Structure 1
Amino acid sequence: MTVTTGDVWLPFPAGEIDGLPDSFRYRQWDGEDAFPADPADCVFYVTPYMKSQAVTVRPLPRMPALQVVQTLTAGIDHVLAGLADLRPGVRLCNARGVHEASTAELALTLILASLRGIPRMVRGQDREEWHGGFYEALADRSVLIVGYGSIGAAVEDRLAPFECARITRVARSARTAPHGPVHALADLPALLPDADVVILCTPLTEDTRGLAGSDFLGRMKDGALLVNVARGPVVDTAALLAELESGRLHAALDVTDPEPLPVGHPLWHAPNVLITPHVGGSSSAFEPRAKRLVARQLARFAAGQPVDNTVLITG
């Protein structure tokens, strides 16, 4: 059915998005206390970006006419709690195509900075200390990508020029991708001991919550680097802390559990860890790509065409 009436809630001003259909009423809402209009009139909800789960799902129980929920994140875990309040048939869409480049860039940054000792050098610069010597290179290392979706593939694209010895791919189920074979999650125990760098790109689901726990981490080789650009709860923080404090593993984390990491948390000062504050997708690439996605989705919605990136349908 073609939908050309009703409200569309956007976190951006509609005037900043080229190509929006003319027939909808556009309401700007980015998580403020007051709603911009009656939620009952909303047919297409673009969720606020980088807001809490409580904020994101707050209007959903009051949206009986809603047909599409469009997140601006690759993950959808922060929306799932509100889906029970929706009628059957509502489509939940993610932001595939928006964050791949930016998140992959940060993953590569974390890997190179950790291997080459950049945090130590920066701290040394602050103290006017010269930390020469030999450091690890990415060249000739074996890399394991856990969560081989669009972001995992983008990470591999950026690893290609760095002369890695081997890149191994893991997803929920085995398949063949353009770059080569993809192993199933069940193969992880056999794959982990051979990896110098393990990159987590997987979505947060009940199957991946706590995936990098004591058994996973214990199978990693001595001196290996764990990189998490997925979600904090994919890693068991207590198990990771034990490995870091023993000096056996290194870690580079864009996401943590808890998040934001509170003042005084032992992860802040654990040895061999580099932490960035969940900025994988928050770069200059985000906003123009997000706006193009929203315009494209609304054009398809207005024309009665299936929207892209549908990850589930309620009911």
Structure 2
Amino acid sequence: MATSAASSAPPGKAAEAEDDEFKPEAALDDESTLQQEEALPQARRAGMLHLAALGGHAEAIKTLSSTFGVDAIDARASRMGGATALCLAAARGQTGERAAIALLRAGASPAAGLTRNGLRPAHLAAWCRSRELLGELCRLLSPTELHAPCSSGLGPVHYAALGGSADCLRILLEQHPCPREELLSADTASDLSPLHCAALSGAEECARALLSASPALASARGANGWLPLHCAAATGNVAVLEAVLASGCELDAAEDSGLTALHIAAAAGHSDCFLALRAAGADTSRRAGPSRWTPSCFAAAVAKVDPTFEGVARLI
């Protein structure tokens, strides 16, 4: 007769199998289970908190945290990058914001990040536009802890720009006592400044806020010598491109392979950016790339396969 995996396994393995089959969400409404917290394995207690955090259930968080204590609050979910309940709630954005704040008030560590990539609650709150949570983290953390980078070298300011949250970005800038030039540099493992991030995400308001805080950001070189202007041209966000142009950046600056923003806009088929750069006086005769093409050559090549770009090709 066949036996179950749990009953046929050694005692230690059987316990693990039972844990795997446990459904924490079913226990959230089971008062008798909560009253027997001493009998619950740590993994079960943490799993219940993790589920409540993911669901944004602030009231459940309050009940579970008061029952299970601080050890369970900061336990990590090994199958989710080593995330704590606070990280999981922060990753849900506004859905999880109240639950995240409940965890903080119950004693959760505001600086405990994912073991896989070093993302912390501040990164996640900034990325997911959770202003109230970010404000609470600013209150609890020192500036050094608040702006600590993840494994890629990006800090919460970068993530606010990637998420397009100008409000979160302003909160972070106000909470940093160091010189802004230091905070807003491109000296990261990813070679990206916050303005590069805003240009890549098409976040105009973030781009303007960053340029207002540090106009020199427009000249920050990233990976392969790319400037924020090159990023804006590549992604096709003309509003960000115009904001960067208005900062007085070098219009015909080339990246490491010799391409200017005009070449990049043409090659990507972004007609609005191409026309904005051309109207600003970008050099249309400059040659770059292996074929030594001018921007007009790139535009003509794109026009052959993209009819929407044909009008720009005729203008050159």
Per the shorter chain, which TM-score range?
under 0.3
TM-score normalized by the length of structure 2: 0.28
TM-score normalized by the length of structure 1: 0.28
Q: Which has the higher strand share?
A: 1
Q: Which has the higher contact order (CA 8 A, sep 6+)?
A: 1
Q: Which has the higher helix share?
A: 2
